[in-house]
Amino acid sequence: MRRTALIIVAALSTAAAASAGETVSPAGARAYFINLKDGDVVASPVTVQFGLSGMGIAPAGTNVPNTGHHHLVIDETVEGPALNEPIPVDDRHLHFGKGQTEATIALLPGTHTLQIVLGDYSHVPHSPPVMSDRITITVQ
């Protein structure tokens, strides 16, 4: 009985580890903004074009090597332990799980930070993470 319990615990730990930011990204893969740069002044709604090199795009739930889908992080960060967990779903973490490469979003006037984070089939950042630089834009 004890051996069976240990095997079950080991299996569950392995399954949890597999979904904890362990989808490998290829060397040199990078995410970037195509149409925005740090310091831009824009009007709302803002069109954001997502760039990706060294990997492909696949819808969420599609477990294909060297692919992922975009997440747009607004006025927030995904770092530290959060890189090993699914990216939250809220108004600061927008998911593009259908494989979208562009979005038009409404932002309130003011200064905002934006960052693209590529997520794997289960919305967890890759290892190493494929993220754009964090940029600051001003919405008039």
- The domain that holds 56 is classified in CATH as 2.60.40
Domain assignment of residue 130, given as a range: 2-139
Q: Mind listing the pLDDT tens digit for each residue in 84-136?
A: 999 999 999 999 999 999 999 999 999 999 999 999 999 999 999 999 999 99
For position 9, what pLDDT does the model report?
35
**DSSP alpha helix (H) spans, the chain:** 2-18
What does the alpha-carbon distance between residue 5 and residue 46 come to, in Å, rounded to a whole number?
53
Instruction: Count up the domains in the chain and report the number.
Output: 1
